[in-house]
Amino acid sequence: MRATSVALLWPLLLLGGPAQAEMSVEQYTQKSGTSHMLDTVWLYGVQNGFAWANAYNGDRGLPPLYCQPENLALTRDQVTNILDNFIKTDQGRALLNAEISLVLLKALQHAFPCPH
Domain interval for residue 85: 26-111
3-class SS of residue 24: strand
pLDDT at 5: 45
pLDDT tens digits for the chain (116 residues)? 555 444 444 444 444 444 556 899 999 999 888 888 899 999 999 999 999 999 999 999 999 999 999 899 999 999 999 999 999 999 999 999 999 999 999 999 999 999 97
- 51 found inside a domain: yes
pLDDT at 14: 44
Backbone angles phi, psi at 99, to 5 degrees: -70, 140
Compute the distance between CA of residue 32 and CA of residue 50 in angstroms, rounded to an integer: 25
- 32 found inside a domain: yes
Q: How many domains does the chain have?
A: 1
pTM to 2 decimal places: 0.80
Compute the distance between CA of residue 18 and CA of residue 107 in angstroms, rounded to an integer: 30
- 16 found inside a domain: no
